[in-house]
Structure 1
Amino acid sequence: MKIEQVDLYYLEIPFIYPFKTNGIDVNSHNCLIVKIHSEGLIGYGECPTFNQPFYNYETITTAHHILKDFLIPLLLHKNINFPQEITQILSLVRGHQMAKSALDCAVWDLFAKKKNLPLYKYIGGVREKVKVGVSVSLQSSIEALMDRVNSYLEEGYQRVKLKISPDNALSCLTAIRESYPDLMLMGDANSVFTLDDMDLFKQLDDLNLLMIEQPLAYDDLLEHSRLQSQIKTPLCLDESINSINDTLNAIALKSCQIINLKQSRIGGITNTIEIHNLCEKAGIKLWCGGMLESGIGRATNLHIASLPQFKLPADISATNRYFQEDIITQNIKLNPEDSTINIPQKAGIGVDIDEEKLEKFTLSQESFT
């Protein structure tokens, strides 16, 4: 397929509730959307990084610069026989995985549409619906936290991920566990703990948590290995896994039992499939994380979470968890009876773009031919 044209959009979509975590407090979803045109088809991808470099070093500004000035020129007018070729084409640019992921996912969407297959079938997925959970941001009090958790459980979510810090982890997680002894419950630390918190980690062992996500430094593998060897609760790596090499090193060091695999963090679907296969061989469980995506990124993640080693509930909530209005015509809905979301069955990522909403939320737009 020849890459004939690339359109680049900068969007801002308001959230229903502000999203607060350690170092991040946002009221809207800012992202870059790419449309890749080829042979009468359009492939869509999303770069869902933040305005500030608080999750990783990429921001909307840097991703826009890298896409516009480097990645899109590298890809434009290329003839691609297989979607996996895109990683080699873009390899001249080091890092900038979120920027690369938007183009990578759009190319996979194109190829699945050319084959007239839903993306999950094209990449070897094994399920038509995905078990999902909900992420709960920091709240003002235990009472407010419990109100939020109760509301999500009433909606049908069966797994809760709570943002935690050394100050609130034990009290907040204990409050939830006492109210819901059998709930799939996990803590997401976003790198705010150290090995000095070992006694706290051992207390958390008593809460039967599904996992603790990224407790130590965002770029660490060694100290996570030391921590995992001393506690029962499975550790999950998120920010520390940015590449295939990071995954190989984490496996060798036994730094975790689980990986939160966000395709945008590791450069897209091509690298996701390679890392998935490595983890399948090593017995590392996967689950699909989210970056507060629009319907484009959310649909892409649903397809990825169909791969066999994604054993744990994904962070792919329903549309109404975050947005009153989205840029796709379909609402991604929770099946409350089993806490799942159906994977779209149309070709490619399987959703239709609401062009009016896309225009409404677009702050700027450029086309490259």
Structure 2
Amino acid sequence: MPEIDGCDAFRVAMPRGRRPESVLVRLTGADGAVGWGEAPVPGRAADAVWADVAERLGPALLGLAWDRPEDVSAAAELGGPAAAAAIDTACWDLWCRGRGLPLAHALGGTRTSIVTGARISPEPLLDTVVGRVNRAVGAGHTRVTLDVRPGWDIEPVRAIREAYPALALVADAGHSYTSSPAHLAALEGLDGYGAVALQRPFAIGDLAAHALLQQRVRAAVAPAVTDLETLDAAIELGAGRALDLRAGPLGGLTAARSAHDRAYAAGWDVWCTGEGAFGVGQAAAVALAALPGMTLPSEVTDPAGGPVFVSPPVRSSGGVVGVPLTQPGLGHEVDEERIERLATRRLRIGA
């Protein structure tokens, strides 16, 4: 039975004025093994995540009896999903390292490599959008996700489709549409250009609107899923046919694996998106993306050219990223010295 002797937390901001910030968790076992987890913390959410780890989740882990990472779920529920995800991931990493197991295999992954996709942010000039897609395709990515909004949707999708007729294209609406006739017509228009998925078209929890849209389009609708109950309801109501699997909103790898299993069994398309800027979240996403139900390319790599905090970096080559199967746990070593140097807050609980 593993024992956790210590929990260290680091609130880390990206250097040189960059915005991304994360709370990183390092768990230390009685045998000296360590496990890492990452919680991206946009804006004011950082204080809440820090309090969850420092005041509730971290102390609850010390002396907790557990045989497998799934046994930590009850303790993880003491905090919000972001903090719980960091703790859960660190437990999986620690458990796997103590047993010499690659995380991907421990989760049930069957892939040795991951085909990657890329995200394209909105740009006022269509030529700029197409140019960014061209760079993504040139780097080997076989799917792109385009952020769309009412009034900025049909034209960029049309421009991309004309330039790349066979490219897998996901339109991410960021919850910005309603079920009004005009908005539904726009979403149906996107479907006419062969989008493989319409992601997050409506407000979180509005499954009726998602179900209505799914009845009217060929593309798979991908509602935002923040818990397993919502996923079960969406499957039952026919409120989608695709899942963007993210460990953070679901509270960790344990819940994310369950979400994958349920979506896969229902015949949904699934892809994985990594979260965080410090490599730990991306490394965990690679392990998730190795699961057998991933039918679309996943967004799991670190930004090219950015600072590197894990070794080897989580980078793709020709649109493919290898699953680390020769090293235990996440399969990447964290640059602890650099993390500690950049930390704006640090905390140690236990030994």
2:342 aligned residue: 361
For residues 311 and 104 of structure 2, the distance between their equivalents in structure 1, rounded to whole angstroms, comes to: 20
**What code does the residue aligned with 2:335 have?**
D
* 1:161 is the counterpart of 2:153: no
Which residue, 116, 122, 131 being the options, matches 2:115? 131
**What code does the residue aligned with 1:368 have?**
I
Deviation at 1:155, TM superposition (A): 1.6
Deviation at 1:171, TM superposition (A): 0.8
2:35 aligned residue: 43
* TM-score normalised per structure 2: 0.94
- Structure 1 outlier segments of 4+, above 4 Å: none
- Give the secondary structure class of the aligned counterpart of 2:25: strand
Which residue, 240, 243, 255 being the options, matches 2:239? 255
1:351 aligned residue: 332
Checking the alignment, whether the CA contact within 8 Å between 2:174 and 2:200 is kept in structure 1 is: yes
- Give the secondary structure class of the aligned counterpart of 2:50: helix
Q: Which moved more, 1:172-181 or 1:77-86?
A: 77-86
Q: 1:218 to 1:49 in 2, by over 3 A?
A: farther
2:202 aligned residue: 216
**What code does the residue aligned with 1:326 have?**
V
* Deviations 1:147-170 (CA, angstroms, capped at 9, x unpaired): 222222222212111111011110
Number of residue-to-residue matches in the alignment: 345
Q: 1:14 to 1:200 in 2, by over 3 A?
A: farther
**What code does the residue aligned with 2:321 have?**
I
For residues 360 and 325 of structure 1, the distance between their equivalents in structure 2, rounded to whole angstroms, comes to: 14
Q: 1:64 to 1:314 in 2, by over 3 A?
A: same
Deviation at 1:332, TM superposition (A): 2.1
Once the two structures are superposed, the pairs formed by residues 1-369 of structure 1 within 5 Å of their partners are 1-14=2-15, 27-38=18-29, 39-52=31-44, 59-91=45-77, 93=78, 96-196=80-180, 197-238=183-224, 241-317=225-301, 319-321=302-304, 324-336=306-318, 339-345=319-325, 346-369=327-350
- Give the secondary structure class of the aligned counterpart of 1:218: coil
- Give the secondary structure class of the aligned counterpart of 1:174: helix
Q: 1:301 to 1:34 in 2, by over 3 A?
A: same
For residues 297 and 303 of structure 1, the distance between their equivalents in structure 2, rounded to whole angstroms, comes to: 10
Deviation at 1:355, TM superposition (A): 2.7
- Give the secondary structure class of the aligned counterpart of 1:10: strand
For residues 279 and 110 of structure 2, the distance between their equivalents in structure 1, rounded to whole angstroms, comes to: 22
Deviation at 1:27, TM superposition (A): 4.2
Checking the alignment, whether the CA contact within 8 Å between 2:76 and 2:87 is kept in structure 1 is: no
> Which sections of structure 1, spanning at least 5 residues, go unmatched?
16-25, 53-58
* Deviations 1:83-124 (CA, angstroms, capped at 9, x unpaired): 101112233x3x611110100010011111112011011111
Checking the alignment, whether the CA contact within 8 Å between 1:235 and 1:256 is kept in structure 2 is: yes
For residues 291 and 193 of structure 1, the distance between their equivalents in structure 2, rounded to whole angstroms, comes to: 24
Q: 1:171 to 1:27 in 2, by over 3 A?
A: farther
* Deviations 1:241-272 (CA, angstroms, capped at 9, x unpaired): 11111111111111100011101110111111
**What code does the residue aligned with 1:42 have?**
V
**What code does the residue aligned with 1:162 have?**
L
- Give the secondary structure class of the aligned counterpart of 1:368: strand
Deviation at 1:324, TM superposition (A): 2.1
Q: 1:4 to 1:305 in 2, by over 3 A?
A: same
For residues 248 and 293 of structure 1, the distance between their equivalents in structure 2, rounded to whole angstroms, comes to: 30
For residues 32 and 352 of structure 1, the distance between their equivalents in structure 2, rounded to whole angstroms, comes to: 17
- Give the secondary structure class of the aligned counterpart of 2:311: coil
Deviation at 1:195, TM superposition (A): 1.1
**What code does the residue aligned with 2:218 have?**
K
Q: How much identity, in percent, do the aligned residues show?
A: 25
- Give the secondary structure class of the aligned counterpart of 1:109: helix
- Give the secondary structure class of the aligned counterpart of 1:32: strand
Checking the alignment, whether the CA contact within 8 Å between 2:39 and 2:276 is kept in structure 1 is: no
For residues 67 and 285 of structure 2, the distance between their equivalents in structure 1, rounded to whole angstroms, comes to: 24
Deviation at 1:14, TM superposition (A): 4.8
* Deviations 1:266-317 (CA, angstroms, capped at 9, x unpaired): 0111111222222222112211123344211111100011111121111113
Checking the alignment, whether the CA contact within 8 Å between 1:299 and 1:343 is kept in structure 2 is: no
